[in-house]
Structure 1
Amino acid sequence: MIRAGVWRWFSGVTKVTSRSSRSFVPLSPSVPAHSERYKSGTLPTSRSEGDILASPNLKAFTYNELKNATRNFRPDSLLGEGGFGYVYKGWIDDHTLSAGRPGSGMVVAVKKLKPEGFQGHKEWLSEVEHLGQLHHPNLVKLIGYCLEGNNRLLVYEYMPKGSLENHLFRRGARPLSWTIRIKVALDAARGLSFLHDSEQQVIYRDFKASNILLDSEFNAKLSDFGLAKAGPTGDHTHVSTQVMGTRGYAAPEYMATGWLTAKCDVYSFGVVLLELLSGRRAIDKTKVGVEQNLVDWAKPYLGDRRKLFRIMDTKLEGQYPQKAAYATAVIASQCISEAKLRPQMPDVLAILEQLPVAKYANSPTSSLSPKSPLRKSHPSLLNMSPRRSPLPSSQMQSPVLKSPRGR
């Protein structure tokens, strides 16, 4: 049962917390960027590149080591490709972290940037800096890096189930059960809450389905920190920055003003919740009219229990708890609302954790098969027979205001 205090806030009795007011981002682009009311935060003095690369938590690989680890970046080692470059499967020794023989040692994912790709040295270094310092079960682990000449590579833990995007949208992918969808939402919320509540707040800025990776037990972890930014400090309400991210996920007030707050991540989280509910992409040009934009299409149904089934993913075949689905829809609605009315991520996490299905999803005895049975709440709108097929790993990318399908 949802805690009374949390539910009162969730129901709108309590509007916003003091921190919410502090980080309010005005929606009007006509407000001056340096007005007295809304001060733009100045990022703390950055560490030098040498200090970042000298992190004791990371191994500095040579290019030849990673060539050997990936079998010379052979095509059959390729896991994914995006605007940034390529991701290859490789092997390293568990103890020395030196290149291992294929099939032995620790499996890793090696991200190799294209010199002409969307991510340059700045984004590469940002990822090394953030993942070299931040450690949490719901953040992908960065093992090391390579910087030789024009070669920039990153070495991560291997996430065998690939990206949430592939599971939701890839043709022929086996549908995720309701339980797994809520588990993924919880894990992602924990990762974002950790970033936002860190001593130096970190704004992720590129939260989306393709950046949520899944391990063998469907534990979700956030990846790709190339666009991450330090949050505002002191009495500052936001950080002014160049607008970057992915269309459909980026908060509208951020796109209009360039003013970045943690509430921008909350909006993106709401969009991913809608993707989990509906099985639809944030932006889908194959649809017509309002249905091209998931937020615009779904909004009218989120607060209506009787109409919610119209946006639910037909691949669930009606196997989801009505109350939990409605509660999740209302959470999503709060997250995509006007910036000043959005909750903070710790509040969102607290609400999600109170859902009965959330407790089931985190039980060590729960079934994590992609299609596990739950109480049938609605008849299936389509008689779909899910097909099992191999699922490739994530296709990560982070170009400036890119289309989520522009790979």
Structure 2
Amino acid sequence: MRTLGPYEILEILGEGSFGTVCVGRAQNDPSRRKVALKVLKPAYTNNKKILNRTRDEARLLSQINHPNIVRVEALAWFNTRTTMVMEYVEGVSLDQLLIRFKDGLPGAVALEVTRLTCLALHVAFAEAIGENGAPMRVIHRDIKPSNVLLSVHGEVKVVDFGIAKGDFEGREAETESVVMGSRPYMAPERLDGMSDSPAVDVYSAGMSLYELLTGRTMGLSINPVNHDQAMTRQLLYVQVPGMSQGALDDLRNLIRRMCAYSRDYRPTAFECVKDLEALSYAIEPRYRIGLEEFARTTVVPIYESRPRTSPDEAITGDDDEGGFEDISETLGHRTSPKPLESRSPLPTTMRLGSPLWFVGGLVGAVALLGALALVKFTLTDDPATRGPAHVRVTVWIPSNATAFLDDVVLPAAGPARLESGPTQMKVQYTSGRAVMCDFDAAEGVQVRLVQDSGRDGITLNDGPFRPCGELTTAAVPTAP
């Protein structure tokens, strides 16, 4: 039997950027209730930024009590490893469902899941009260299908508040508003460095709703005119059996408003809740399926057939993924849990459930490259050692991509010093897809990777769209 502190480890769910997610059960709990354990990797044990975000997520979720928002049970140290103890949700993420439903989920399911997601967003921002009695004004900032779970009982859970913004007592991490989130769910103003508002979550929810209804990802431009034109074309793909043409037009208009280029034109999350409820009743009863029935017939089989990795398989590398890094250093020992910060203890009656917080193992490599790129840029940015032919450009890329420009590697958006003149930028996504973009490097140029009508391209200083070419993975260099 493998253990982590007082918990018996039953299953390894996965390994991601910052750690490993396990399913555990307290050995002294007569109810034998399962919990999810998010264990930080040793490499980040002394990373103040990551630790602060982890503690902030735990404090935030421990103060929100809503059935559609995951909750934290405890934050502790086991074997010197920071561990978040959470509610374990038996279910699947919406993006996993979309693998099965290539053309989108049943209309009633998509509308109800989005309604409950918007209700959770409304509560987090407008109703959640912190320990000091003041509203916490929580903005999730990363709403997308992979961050919404549907349980085997038909419950909707919004997960992964790791980059959320909020006002709550004991907050440690500095709020960041530039290029944090996931394209194409990120609102245009987020790319422009504007202060975040609840409207960014409404935009993301609208983009997710479109994907749930169609099975497609809506590609929109950061140019206001092109943005609206592209959305008008793509909304024609929204079709809901059993819904009248008038109701269908209302649904498309709601998505149009939720995904409006200007946040001033977007409805509030609570207005979306009311509109989505009305639209659900506009579907003919014979086409209307409830979440409990859908979960029973669809979610349960997917959940029960999921790949399982035992702790011993994870340690020996006998699982299909080839082993889990660092897990052998974590399991098998037993220590008493202690609070991470005595000055801000967490309630012991809370729970959480985001087994997907660490999902996306490829992003781990990108995260590790961040420090290398930062050190490299710092060491080479001395004016005394720079030649006059070098210019400073700023590259904006989504969080799931890495940019390669000559000998500069950018695992995230930021500045780069390049030789002036024609430049080739290779961009590789965590999915393995890669593109090549050409531009002329000049002092102060802002290079922004965008999508227009499903095509990858760039803009220079927010100018015209310039298409990029597809590459084979082999053509993309590996980071030093």
Q: When the two structures are superposed, what TM-score results if normalisation uses the length of structure 1?
A: 0.60
Instruction: Determine if contact 1:213/1:223 at 8 Å carries over to the other structure.
Output: yes
Say whether 1:89 aligns with 2:23.
yes
Give the distance between the partners of 2:282 and 2:153, measured in 1 at CA. Answer: 16
The equivalences for 1:7-406 within 5 A come to 63-66=4-7, 68=8, 70-71=9-10, 77-92=11-26, 98=28, 105-116=32-43, 120-148=50-78, 150-168=80-98, 170=99, 176-198=105-127, 199-230=135-166, 241-281=177-217, 299-301=231-233, 308=236, 310-312=237-239, 318=241, 323-337=246-260, 338-357=262-281, 366=290, 368-370=292-294, 389=302, 390-391=305-306, 395-397=356-358, 401-403=398-400, 406=430
Cα displacement (A) at 1:137? 1.0
Give the distance between the partners of 2:289 and 2:215, measured in 1 at CA. Answer: 26
Match of 1:352, as an amino acid?
Answer: L
Match of 2:116, as an amino acid?
Answer: D
Q: When the two structures are superposed, what TM-score results if normalisation uses the length of structure 2?
A: 0.52
Q: Which residue number in structure 2 is paired with residue 377 of structure 1?
A: none
The verdict on how the C-alpha distance between 1:319 and 1:147 changes in structure 2, with shifts beyond 3 A counting, is farther
Give the distance between the partners of 1:333 and 1:128, measured in 2 at CA. Answer: 34
The verdict on how the C-alpha distance between 1:351 and 1:319 changes in structure 2, with shifts beyond 3 A counting, is closer
Q: Which residue number in structure 1 is paired with residue 319 of structure 2?
A: none
Cα displacement (A) at 1:329? 2.5
Q: Which residue number in structure 1 is paired with residue 332 of structure 2?
A: none
Helix, strand or coil: the match of 2:207? helix
Match of 1:402, as an amino acid?
Answer: S
Give the distance between the partners of 1:297 and 1:158, measured in 2 at CA. Answer: 42
The superposition leaves residues 175-202 of structure 1 with CA deviations (integer Å, 9 ceiling, x where unpaired) of 7432222221111011001012132311
The superposition leaves residues 321-363 of structure 1 with CA deviations (integer Å, 9 ceiling, x where unpaired) of 65554433221211111112111111111211222438999xx
Give the distance between the partners of 1:174 and 1:300, measured in 2 at CA. Answer: 19
Cα displacement (A) at 1:372? 11
Which structure has the higher relative contact order (CA within 8 Å, separation 6+)?
1
The structure richer in strand per residue is 2
Match of 1:105, as an amino acid?
Answer: R
Helix, strand or coil: the match of 1:203? coil
Q: What number of residue pairs does the alignment pair up?
A: 292
Give the distance between the partners of 1:116 and 1:281, measured in 2 at CA. Answer: 35
Q: Which residue number in structure 2 is paired with residue 21 of structure 1?
A: none
Instruction: Determine if contact 2:112/2:276 at 8 Å carries over to the other structure.
Output: no
Instruction: Determine if contact 2:12/2:23 at 8 Å carries over to the other structure.
Output: yes
The verdict on how the C-alpha distance between 1:367 and 1:166 changes in structure 2, with shifts beyond 3 A counting, is closer
Q: Which residue number in structure 2 is paired with residue 10 of structure 1?
A: none
Give the distance between the partners of 1:322 and 1:343, measured in 2 at CA. Answer: 22
- Give the share of equivalent positions with the same residue, in percent: 27
List runs of 5+ in structure 1 lacking aligned partners: 1-61, 72-76, 233-238, 374-387
Instruction: Determine if contact 1:63/1:151 at 8 Å carries over to the other structure.
Output: no
Helix, strand or coil: the match of 1:137? coil
Give the distance between the partners of 1:265 and 1:296, measured in 2 at CA. Answer: 19
List runs of 5+ in structure 2 lacking aligned partners: 128-134, 169-174, 308-353, 368-397, 402-428, 432-480
Q: CA RMSD in A?
A: 4.0
Instruction: Determine if contact 2:103/2:215 at 8 Å carries over to the other structure.
Output: no
Match of 1:395, as an amino acid?
Answer: L
**Which structure's CA Rg is the greater one?**
2
